[in-house]
Structure 1
Amino acid sequence: MKREELVGYLDRLLEPGKFRDYCPNGLQVEGRSEVRRLVAGVTASQALLDAAVACDADAILVHHGYFWRGEDGRITGIRRQRLGTLLQREINLIAYHLPLDAHPEFGNNAQLAKLFGWQPEGRFGEQDIAWHGCLSEEVPLGVVVEGMAAALGRQPLTIGDEMQSIRRVAWCSGGAQGYFEQAIALGVDLYVSGEISEQTVHLARESGVAYLAAGHHATERYGVKAVADHLAATFGLDCRFVDIDNPV
């Protein structure tokens, strides 16, 4: 598959032009023109680059790429090593940030709803990134926590009484604790994100709305994997998801 064909298809699928983002979406580092094998992962860390080199990948697809707004633009140290690996091996780096959170089918939040069996009802937050909906039935918070821990392979940090009833839920993958007040205003019983801040704990306790911080990495594994699986099914492309362990 030609690089231009692959990137063009992803741009049409994920529609990055609709978003005001903190980084460039799409092709970030140009490699070889022919893509036979693609490695997908959450973040373009050196460990993921090394995994791509080890399996002779032509392209890497990630949620967290490079060139974030406000960063020092000098190519030194770790940045030099990462870019050097890509350029020396002629590996394409393709990244989609907010578009991969928001996509109605393959996005992180859509995939979380699918994983946990939640029924989406609407969106809120910056550029309608966050989602809200309901569970199939009212259950204690402890049951939600247990199911989430089993699905994600990690125990979420829980703020709330495990016996309190949960039916309406709002969620947003990654570092989305800033949407909590908007979620409370929607009348939900529970808010789920990847991270939590110090002040958010007090807001949860005082509002009575439970909060689960399930891990930034853990909540953002599923979008990029879903896109990679879609590419494999649609084009017969050799796509491999590599999960680099990250406790955050």
Structure 2
Amino acid sequence: MAMLDDIVSFLDSELRIKEVPDYPGAMNGLQMEGQQKVEQVAVAVDASLPVVRKAVNSGANLLIVHHGMFWNGSRRVTGATYEKFKLAMEAGLAVYSAHIPLDIHPVIGNNACLASVLELEEPKPFFEWKGILLGIRGRFEGSLNQLVSRVTEALGEEPHVCSAGSEEAGVVGIITGGAGSEVVAVRESGIDSFLTGEGPHWSYTEAEELGMNMIYGGHYLTETGGVKAVADLLSERFRLETEFIDHPTGM
């Protein structure tokens, strides 16, 4: 058992919640207060109503997510939003969110987790965004097909691939989630094969014309690693029971 305030303080520091920039609706950190004594933690990609319901039913005291409850800014607390808030508050379920801070963490971040499982050589941060480096780049010693096989094994599903570049994977850039629209800037950064979650339709044709391989692994699937790593970290540090709530969107 651990105290909610202690867990929040630890995560705020570890993830540099106050220092890392993000989108206005992210509202990183503790989004909803709950009971102070925490024995069980649930982690998930999204703080959706089905996920909150599963967390409550599992007996979790704290839900940690990558995409929080307030992406659309101020909104009426009616319908599904009301039901979600009411369900969490009546159960004493606290909700903590970490978006970009969890993407870029050098060890437990979404990018770092993928770079590790893909065994990229000499991984280092790249791609400047709002004064930080948003992704990770490194060399993959093997063909594009071998890289795609490794991605498939890591994510559990075969990604969508634009094989417009070299047959060798070369320098691989990873920006999890929805970074496909950055295809031009990524190519200009010297990337041969770009792994992201999703992108707009035109990002595929742009990659073709730029002669860059592009791997669309799915927004959801590329961002499960970070919350799982947070669960492992909290289990080790606070001796808490943790659970990953898998609620894929197919996107």
For residue 190 of structure 1, what is the aligned residue in structure 2? Answer: 193
8 Å Cα contact 1:11/1:26 also seen in 2:
yes
Counterpart amino acid of 1:217?
A: Y
3-state SS of paired residue (2:18)? helix
3-state SS of paired residue (1:125)? strand
For residue 133 of structure 1, what is the aligned residue in structure 2? Answer: 138
Query: Residue deviations 1:191-242, cap 9 Å, x none?
Result: 0100021111121111110111100000000001101101101110111112
% identity of equivalent residues: 31
**TM-score, structure 1 normalization:** 0.94
3-state SS of paired residue (1:18)? coil
Q: 1 CA distance for matches of 2:174 and 2:87? A: 36
Structure 2 unaligned blocks of 5 or more? none
Asked if 1:225 corresponds to 2:228, the answer is yes
Asked if 1:122 corresponds to 2:138, the answer is no
Change (3 A) 1:217 1:71: same
Q: Give 1:26 shift.
A: 0.9
For residue 13 of structure 2, what is the aligned residue in structure 1? Answer: 12
Counterpart amino acid of 1:28?
A: Q
**Which of 99, 102, 108 pairs up with 1:106?**
108
Q: 1 CA distance for matches of 2:149 and 2:159? A: 9
Q: 2 CA distance for matches of 1:105 and 1:155? A: 25
Q: 2 CA distance for matches of 1:158 and 1:121? A: 24
**Which of 159, 163, 177 pairs up with 1:160?**
163
3-state SS of paired residue (2:242)? strand
Aligned residues between the structures: 245
Change (3 A) 1:183 1:162: closer
For residue 94 of structure 1, what is the aligned residue in structure 2? Answer: 96
8 Å Cα contact 2:193/2:214 also seen in 1:
yes
Query: Residue deviations 1:43-91, cap 9 Å, x none?
Result: 11222212212221111011011112x5342111111111111011110
**Which of 53, 73, 76 pairs up with 2:56?**
53
Asked if 1:145 corresponds to 2:148, the answer is yes
Q: 1 CA distance for matches of 2:48 and 2:173? A: 30
**Which of 180, 183, 188 pairs up with 1:180?**
183
**TM-score, structure 2 normalization:** 0.93
Counterpart amino acid of 2:169?
A: I
The alignment's C-alpha RMSD in Å is: 1.5
Counterpart amino acid of 1:129?
A: L
8 Å Cα contact 2:164/2:207 also seen in 1:
no
Q: 2 CA distance for matches of 1:107 and 1:189? A: 22
Query: Residue deviations 1:101-160, cap 9 Å, x none?
Result: 01111100000101111131332131211121111x2x2212211221122111111111
Counterpart amino acid of 1:15?
A: R
Runs of 4+ in 1 over 4 A off after TM superposition: none
Q: 2 CA distance for matches of 1:19 and 1:73? A: 25
Asked if 1:237 corresponds to 2:240, the answer is yes
For residue 82 of structure 1, what is the aligned residue in structure 2? Answer: 84
Q: 2 CA distance for matches of 1:121 and 1:56? A: 39
Q: Give 1:166 shift.
A: 1.4
